[in-house]
Amino acid sequence: MARSQLLKDAVGGKESIENILLRLKVILADMENENIMNWVNGELEGYKDKDNLPPFRILKGHITGTYLVNFQFQYTDAPVPLENLLSKEQIDEIETVKIYDGVATIQNILQGANAESYGTVVPTAFCYAISKDELQIAGMKVKIASNQLNGIVSRVKSKLVEVIMELEKEFENLDELDIRDQIRESESAKQVIYNIESIVYDESIRVGDKNKINKSIIGHLLGKRG
């Protein structure tokens, strides 16, 4: 069976990811599956439903900050020795950054001058709350490296190709952007939907399970990071 132009465009790289997502959105809408549409809309517009974030968008950042040691030595934009203040689990929570931006926004960030300074600012109130006399923290930021953001873009591209290939196994003429009649006649449509869910959510269909960070004291102090 001949490959669709949609797949060729996704692989070729000349068309933007946003263009591929918009065309795919029209096709996938015929499946009437909320999880799949949440993924498409999330990649296009950013994830508004904070609980339905694919695992590949949850990253580990690098904590840097401005702090004073023993009232004498000041460090700026330096790694913060949080091991003296918090447990390993608490540090892991702070390092965890969820990327909600749409894929086009991420690409714009990568093309900008501040690609290497992307990250999450830790609230000042939290910095003060954990400070001690020997280590006083004025501010902290959890930085995400540009190669991590590039990794998200690459994963989205790969998933687009996988989704289109999955659709091609079952449906014809994807370039017409209309598979409603074929879905009605297909006995395996439900399996295709399940397979696509598995692709976009890294085989973790159980979305909506909030990260434990929300229930911890640190999660409360950090606010709406997850």
Determine the Cα–Cα distance for residues 184 and 30; give it in Å rounded to an integer.
10
- Verify that 72 and 115 share a domain, yes or no: yes
In a domain, 97, yes or no: yes
In a domain, 211, yes or no: no
29-86: pLDDT as tens digits: 999 999 999 999 999 999 998 788 999 999 999 999 999 999 999 999 999 999 989 9
In a domain, 75, yes or no: yes
The amino acid that residue 130 corresponds to is I
99 membership: H or E segment, kind and range? none
- Verify that 177 and 133 share a domain, yes or no: no
In a domain, 210, yes or no: no
Q: Return the residue matching tokens 């934009």.
A: 77
- Verify that 133 and 105 share a domain, yes or no: yes
The amino acid that residue 149 corresponds to is L
> What local confidence, expressed as pLDDT, does residue 214 receive?
44
- Verify that 61 and 140 share a domain, yes or no: yes
- Verify that 14 and 122 share a domain, yes or no: no
> What local confidence, expressed as pLDDT, does residue 205 receive?
54
Instruction: Tell me the two tokens of residue 114.
Output: 């501040």
Determine the Cα–Cα distance for residues 64 and 142; give it in Å rounded to an integer.
6
- Verify that 11 and 33 share a domain, yes or no: yes
- Verify that 50 and 154 share a domain, yes or no: yes
111-167: pLDDT as tens digits: 998 888 899 999 999 999 999 999 999 999 999 999 999 999 999 999 999 999 999
CA neighbor of 17 nearest in space, from 118, 169, 159: 159
Lowest-confidence region among 85-89, 103-107, 205-209: 205-209
153-192: pLDDT as tens digits: 999 999 999 999 999 999 988 999 889 888 887 778 889 9
In a domain, 207, yes or no: no
- Which residues neighbour 41 within 8 Å (Cβ) at sequence distance 6 or greater? 25, 48
Mean pLDDT over all residues of the chain? 89
The sign one gets for the Cα dihedral 14, 54, 52, 215 is negative
Range of the domain at 161: 5-54+150-200
In a domain, 205, yes or no: no
| Residues in the chain, overall count | 226
What one-character-per-residue DSSP string does 118-146 give? -EEEEPHHHHHHH-BTTEEEEEEEEE--H
Determine the Cα–Cα distance for residues 113 and 77; give it in Å rounded to an integer.
18
Write down the pTM of the prediction.
0.84
- Verify that 61 and 113 share a domain, yes or no: yes
- Verify that 62 and 140 share a domain, yes or no: yes
- Residue 139 backbone phi and psi in degrees, to 5: -170, 150
- Verify that 67 and 43 share a domain, yes or no: no
Is the backbone of residue 89 left (phi > 0), alpha (psi -120 to 50) or beta?
A: alpha
Q: What is the DSSP letter of 3?
A: P
226 — pLDDT class (breaks 50, 70, 90): very low
Q: In this predicted model, which residue has the larger pLDDT, 29 or 1?
A: 29
Q: How many domains does the chain have?
A: 2
In a domain, 21, yes or no: yes
Instruction: Tell me the two tokens of residue 40.
Output: 């498409």
Our CA angle for 183, 187, 189, nearest 5°, is: 45
- Verify that 82 and 192 share a domain, yes or no: no
In a domain, 208, yes or no: no
- Verify that 19 and 61 share a domain, yes or no: no
